[in-house]
Amino acid sequence: MKRIFLLAPLVLFLAVVGCKKIDQLLTFTVDTSQSVVIPGLPGSTQLPAPVTVTTNSAASFQNNKTTKDKVKDVYLEEMVLTITDPSGANFDFLDKLDVYINTPNTNNKILLASISSVPRGTNTIKLTPTTARLDEYLKAETYELTVDSRSNRFSASNFTVKADSRFKVTANPL
């Protein structure tokens, strides 16, 4: 009887550590990249239309020896925006930015990432990701991004912005 009481905490410890190791083995990243032309921005605005992003997640799942029905957790690890055109442009015109995600033809729009104070003099900004689970968005063939922004001045020129996102995906082994 004493052996059972002594072994029980050890078995519990091994089970917890083993589950974490299995999750680490079944965790991988899915990277997406999308460029979009943003028209000149007056004051506070949204993009004129949602930006559709093709996930290619089925191929990523297959490369990591899993399928979308086995994916159990998806979180955004990182989102970086870079102005690629015009050359030398920066985000000085922008004060605040919120990026929302939804799947097409649904009412599941949530905040994906944001930045409340855009640094001056840079053409690249790193947004703070949401802590929400994003399984349904990455499992879809496409998702849409919409943007709410607050700018501090009018910009007459168009900008091409590249959005690079990295999602952390954990699959279920069963």
**One-character DSSP codes across 63-80:** HTT--GGGEEEEEEEEEE
Q: Cis link prior to 104 (omega < 30° from 0)?
A: no
User: What domain count does the chain have?
Assistant: 1
Q: Is residue 106 part of a domain?
A: yes
The answer on pLDDT for 137 being more than 60 is: yes
Tell me the average pLDDT across 59-73.
Answer: 86
| Residue 17 banded pLDDT, cuts 50, 70, 90 | very low
- Average pLDDT of the chain, as a whole number: 82
Query: What percentage of the chain reaches a pLDDT higher than 70?
Result: 78
**Residues 139/57, Cβ–Cβ less than 8 Å:** yes
Structure tokens at 20: 């974490």
Selection from 146, 138, 91 nearest residue 117 by Cα: 91
Structural domain of 75? 29-171
CATH number of the domain residue 78 falls in: 2.60.120
Task: State residue 169's pLDDT score.
Answer: 93
Q: Is residue 35 part of a domain?
A: yes
What separation in angstroms does the CA of 128 have from each of 82, 115, 116? 15, 6, 9
Q: Is residue 89 part of a domain?
A: yes
H or E segment and range at residue 134 = none
Q: Is residue 123 part of a domain?
A: yes
| Residue 6 banded pLDDT, cuts 50, 70, 90 | low
* Lowest-pLDDT choice from 7-21, 83-97, 155-169: 7-21
Whole-angstrom Cα distance, residue 173 to residue 25? Answer: 10
**Residues 66/59, Cβ–Cβ less than 8 Å:** no
Whole-angstrom Cα distance, residue 57 to residue 41? Answer: 32
Query: What percentage of the chain reaches a pLDDT higher than 90?
Result: 35
Task: State residue 94's pLDDT score.
Answer: 85
Selection from 52, 50, 83 nearest residue 159 by Cα: 83
